[in-house]
Amino acid sequence: MSIKTVATTPFSDQKPGTSGLRKKVAIFRSPHYLENFVQAIFDTIAAPQGSTLVLGGDGRHYNREAIQVILKMAAAFGFGKVLVGQGGILSTPAASCVIRKYHTYGGIILSASHNPGGPDGDFGIKYNTGNGGPAPEKITEAIYARSKALANYRIFDAPDVALDQAGSFTLGGMVVEVIDPVTDYAELMESLFDFDAIRTLIRGGFRLCFDAMHAVTGPYGHEILERRLGAPAGTVINGVPLPDFGGGHPDPNLTYAHELVEIMYGADAPDFGAASDGDGDRNMILGRHFFVNPSDSLAVIAANARLAPGYAAGVAGVARSMPTSEAVDRVAAKLGIPCYETPTGWKFFGNLMDAGKVTLCGEESFGTGSSHVREKDGLWAVLFWLNILAKRGQSVEKIIHGHWAEYGRNVYSRHDYESLPGDAADGVMAHLKSQFTELPGKRFDAWQVKFCDDFSYTDPVDGSVSTGQGLRIGFVDGSRIVFRLSGTGTEGATLRIYLEAFEPDTAKHHLDAQLALAGLIAIAGDLSQLRARTGREQPTVIT
């Protein structure tokens, strides 16, 4: 067995997006493609010889092969140890947990998150630093630069390592420790939430359903919800992780988690429903016949945080991505704590959490989390809700309506237009921008434009600046429309339109968001010339 140096031609398209590098499986399978990117990571992070790395993924197609390649390259690079999830499995938040718990140098997570899997689906890879969080932009930029310049990569020439049972193996001078993917994470959850109270709630007849969407959270859901919290078998549906997610789209929203939605809106619906995504970092929360908007979920968690033992001391501050609704800002104002507004993507929360400035973070895209790890965390959010429900003894719907009555309602929706031709999407953005000088002051029915800009962010901790993070049109009454192009897709372009209006009047809180936002939706269509430029009449997904 020896280390081989293999010549590679650099690739020009290995630029990480919102969350790592995502491409079709076929592209990752093409000669040297994965190896080139992994070598670029290793060269960039320059881990000292003998360092420890965490490695795992969401179990999608190509996960197992990629894990073997990365193990052999890690051995050739000089890592001393790799902690790898059994079967190559680690959810994104569990990987973050393991990196932090064992103080490793960093970790590699194989996932394309909510993107479909299978041989014709997507694959992805991202690097997390020693704080457990996604590498910040300056590191992802350096990895990209290196990927375009590499001449060769190094790989240990050895047979594959057995990954299906826990234990220690050696690969040259490197130790491969196969760990249970659930145990460390489950222990962390038990330390944060009142499991006794949740157990009592469930024993009292409270019914719940968790849809793992045949993605990574199946084993986590079975262990935590069914074994440790005593929910009956069958509480977790679609709980067996499959390499193609059973042909589904592991994105927990009203469109793709339709099985759960049918259960929760059905005749004999349970009290609580939730779903998670491909890599376990997203969550959708539902009550009986009731959908909880993710921005509201963050606000409710912030307002009720003290009910969970891990947060009994209170919350230092909160952060949300720019397109996320301002519902949490209202909670922060009432609590007298700071609220930060960051660009889209979890990598922007890391510095704030490391500096102790924020405890809770969230995104409108079904992502919620806290400083217990440095990733958003799907099951964590589910447990937080169960903890709140157990302590408050009210239904999900009652809690949300009570919250709106106290703080007012930030009516919110996101419209996604998926798989647009790139040119058409760029044209929409350019056309919007071209109106920015003339728009302020203009009136559209009841709405007058107050400002428009292309969001940019200066990190308050390290001063780094991120520009071009989404086009904002703000109105005098506080409502707003945001336009952004997705940075996680692999096919064409996805345009996201985020719509928000504030409604203080309790009498109007029951209104459907699409109806309440109809005026803004029409303005967004007109200002962007959406139909003419894309030929689309309707969004692909409405949240």
The answer for residues whose C-beta is within 8 angstroms of residue 227's C-beta and 6 or more apart is none
Q: Which residues pair with 111 in a beta bridge?
A: none
d(CA 188, CA 518): 43
Hey, which bits of 381-470 come out as E strands? 409-420, 443-444, 447-454, 457-458, 465-466
CB of 57 to ligand VG1, least distance (A): 12
Does residue 277 belong to the site contacting Co ion (CB under 5 A)? yes
Query: Nearest residue to ligand VG1, using CB?
Result: 113
φ, ψ (nearest 5 deg) of residue 347: -60, -20
Does residue 281 belong to the site contacting Co ion (CB under 5 A)? yes
Identity of the residue numbered 445: D
Stretch that binds Co ion, among 105-113, 123-131, 170-178, 180-188 (CB under 5 A): 105-113
Is residue 84 within 8 A of residue 71, CB to CB? The reply is yes
Q: Of the candidates 122, 251, 279, 363, which one interacts with Co ion according to CB under 5 A? A: 279
Task: Find, among 62, 65, 37, 36, the residue nearest to 123 by Cα.
Answer: 62
d(CA 256, CA 233): 24
Q: Of the candidates 243, 270, 343, 345, which one interacts with ligand VG1 according to CB under 6 A? A: 345
Q: Of the candidates 410, 488, 528, 543, which one interacts with ligand VG1 according to CB under 6 A? A: 488
Identity of the residue numbered 146: R
Q: Of the candidates 250, 367, 369, 539, which one interacts with ligand VG1 according to CB under 6 A? A: 367
Chain positions 494 to 533 lying near ligand VG1, rule: CB under 6 A, are: 496
Work out what residue 39 binds among ligand VG1, Co ion, none; the CB cut-off runs from 5 to 8 Å by kind. none
Hey, which bits of 440-521 come out as E strands? 443-444, 447-454, 457-458, 465-466, 471-475, 480-485, 493-503
The answer for residues whose C-beta is within 8 angstroms of residue 438's C-beta and 6 or more apart is none
What DSSP designation does 225 have? I
Q: Torsion-angle region of residue 161: left (phi > 0), alpha (psi -120 to 50) or beta? A: beta
Q: Of the candidates 60, 114, 146, 409, which one interacts with ligand VG1 according to CB under 6 A? A: 114
Number of residues that bind ligand VG1 (CB under 6 A): 18
Does residue 466 belong to the site contacting ligand VG1 (CB under 6 A)? no
Stretch that binds Co ion, among 7-15, 272-280, 416-424, 510-518 (CB under 5 A): 272-280
Does residue 293 belong to the site contacting ligand VG1 (CB under 6 A)? no
The answer for residues whose C-beta is within 8 angstroms of residue 73's C-beta and 6 or more apart is 35, 38, 39, 42, 153, 154, 155, 156
- With tokens 């310049």, the residue in question is 149
d(CA 455, CA 465): 11
Does residue 277 belong to the site contacting ligand VG1 (CB under 6 A)? yes
CB of 137 to Co ion, least distance (A): 19
Compute CA 389 distance to the chain's CA centroid, rounded to the nearest angstrom. 24
Chain positions 306 to 335 lying near Co ion, rule: CB under 5 A, are: none
CB of 21 to ligand VG1, least distance (A): 12
Q: Give catalytic residues, as residue numbers.
A: 113
Three-state secondary structure call for residue 108: strand
Chain positions 106 to 135 lying near Co ion, rule: CB under 5 A, are: 113
Number of residues that bind Co ion (CB under 5 A): 5
Q: Of the candidates 226, 296, 363, 500, which one interacts with ligand VG1 according to CB under 6 A? A: 363
Stretch that binds ligand VG1, among 146-154, 187-195, 209-217, 338-346 (CB under 6 A): 338-346
Does residue 359 belong to the site contacting ligand VG1 (CB under 6 A)? no
Does residue 374 belong to the site contacting ligand VG1 (CB under 6 A)? no
Select 35 or 375, whichever has its Cβ closest to ligand VG1.
Answer: 375
d(CA 288, CA 506): 21
* Residues 18-57 as x/- pattern, contact with ligand VG1 by CB under 6 A: xx--------------------------------------
Q: Of the candidates 338, 402, 487, 519, which one interacts with ligand VG1 according to CB under 6 A? A: 487
Select 15 or 199, whichever has its Cβ closest to ligand VG1.
Answer: 15
Q: Binding residues for Co ion, per CB under 5 A?
A: 113, 277, 279, 281-282
Which residues sit at the interface with ligand VG1, rule CB under 6 A? 18-19, 113-114, 277, 281-282, 321, 344-346, 363, 365, 367, 486-488, 496
